[in-house]
Amino acid sequence: LKAIAEAPCKVIITGEHFVVHGGTALAAAVGRKVRVEVSEGRALSVASDRFVGAPPLDPIRAVLAEMKRRHGTESRLSVSIASEIPPGAGLGSSAATMVALASAVARFSGVELAVGGVVASAMAGERVLHGNPSGIDPNVCARGGVLTFTPGRDPSEVPLDGRRVFLVVQSGRRRSTRKLVSKVSEMKRRRPHLFAGLAAAATDVTSLAVERLRAGDMDALGRLMTYNHAVLSAAGASDSGLDGLVDLLISLGCPGAKLTGAGGGGSVLAVPPTGKEKSVLSGLSARGINAFRAELPVEGVHSWLS
Ligand code: PMV
């Protein structure tokens, strides 16, 4: 008997970094998934595919310990992880892994776990990996759809009346969320007034972005995202490679683009020109840049026995 869980990855549409300092971010689940299989073992053993690389043992142990403490689940398990996205790409691969793990362990042990319980256990692993995460990543990967997130409050779902299309463009450079979060926090410590102005701008951008996304006004959303990129850049989260990708996407006809996630490498999120995603994707591929189309909304984590 084994339990299988799949969780989607995520993109942050606006508000990353400032959400760590109490701001509000807008984020969405995207269709690339992480799959975790759990079966009985004599001790904990973890295997993973080439995208996951060396299995992240400490965060996995932290999730299993949290599940055992809260729900009395088994932790001597054989765990296998397969991912459709590379780690360190700013797409929440670690959060998706922790969420799918908590969900698979609950399913394997016959524990009915609500989405809040999945997030709480996944957070134990995210803390080991990232230090002081806001919690946005596991919330999006577990709940799916589109949501706004403010630390200390329940996430709020953003209902959409139809599909919305984005492009996720990979810089190909891995980076550490922990390092980028501390770089931006250092800017806050050194320049508190400047940081407060940037944080206020990011939170305003998020509320405008929610309105534009709901209305389906993707051109205006794109312009807000480019503005958000400038704000993130001023806070120290961007670099010349990401700035160059944003410029390239705009020159290929995108209404707007920004870094997504922690920055310093990872991915850029773009709004494609209506009906012309294919021409942008081929322009990118001609330059050797990997990108994929992401259509929202997508479902959150789900699990089953096999
Ligand atoms: O997991 P990443 O690299 O996509 O970044 C998460 C977003 C941050 O706001 C930078 C960190 C956080 O915990 O919210």
At residue 99, the pLDDT reads: 98
Indicate if the pLDDT at residue 136 is higher than 70.
Answer: yes
pLDDT at 51: 63
Predicted confidence at residue 251, as pLDDT, reads 97
Residue 187 · residue 235 · CB < 8 Å? yes
For residue 135, what are its two tokens? Answer: 């919690």
pLDDT at 173 > cutoff 80 = yes
Q: Report the distance separating Cα 20 and Cα 43, nearest Å.
A: 36
Q: Of the residues 16, 132, 188, 203, which should be mutated to test ligand 1's pocket, given the most ligand atoms within 8 Å of the CB?
A: 16
| pLDDT value at residue 57 | 87
- 204 CB-side CA count, 13 A: 8
- Confidence band for 85, pLDDT divided at 50, 70 and 90: confident
Q: How far apart are CA 148 and CA 258, in angstroms?
A: 18
pLDDT score, position 297: 97
* Residues 283-299, mean pLDDT to the nearest whole number: 97
Distance 12 CA to ligand 1 centre (A): 8
Mean pLDDT value of segment 134-149? 97
Band of residue 120 on the pLDDT scale cut at 50, 70, 90? very high
DSSP 21: G
Lowest mean pLDDT among 3-17, 44-58, 104-118, 221-235: 44-58
Residues 46-83: pLDDT tens digits?
Answer: 998 866 667 778 999 999 999 999 999 988 999 999 99
90-94, 148-152, 249-253: lowest mean pLDDT where? 90-94
Distance CA 112, CA 219 (A): 42
Six-digit token string for 132: 């002081």
* Averaged pLDDT for residues 185-197: 98
Sign of CA dihedral 91, 233, 13, 26: positive
17: left (phi over 0), alpha (psi -120 to 50) or beta: left
- Amino acid identity of residue 9, one-letter, is C
Ligand 1 centroid – CA 38 distance (Å) = 27
pLDDT in tens, 3-17: 999 999 999 999 999
pTM of the model: 0.95
Q: Which residues of 40-72 are buried (b: 16+ CB within 10 A; e: fewer)?
A: eeeeeebebeeebeeebeebbbbbbebbeebbe
Whether 297 contacts 160, CB under 8 Å: yes
**Ligand 1: which atom is nearest the Cα of residue 126?**
13
Which residue is listed with tokens 């993707």? Answer: 218
Summary mean pLDDT of the chain: 95
- For 261-288, the pLDDT digits (tens) are 999 999 999 999 998 999 999 999 999 9
Distance from residue 181's CA to the centre of ligand 1 (Å):
8
8 A C-beta contact, residue 26 and residue 15: yes
DSSP 238: -
3-state SS, 50-89, equals: CCCCCCCHHHHHHHHHHHHHHHCCCCCEEEEEEECCCCCC
Closest CA to 133 of 117, 142, 122, 147: 122
Task: Answer yes or no: is pLDDT of 182 > 70.
Answer: yes
**Catalytic residue status for 137:** yes
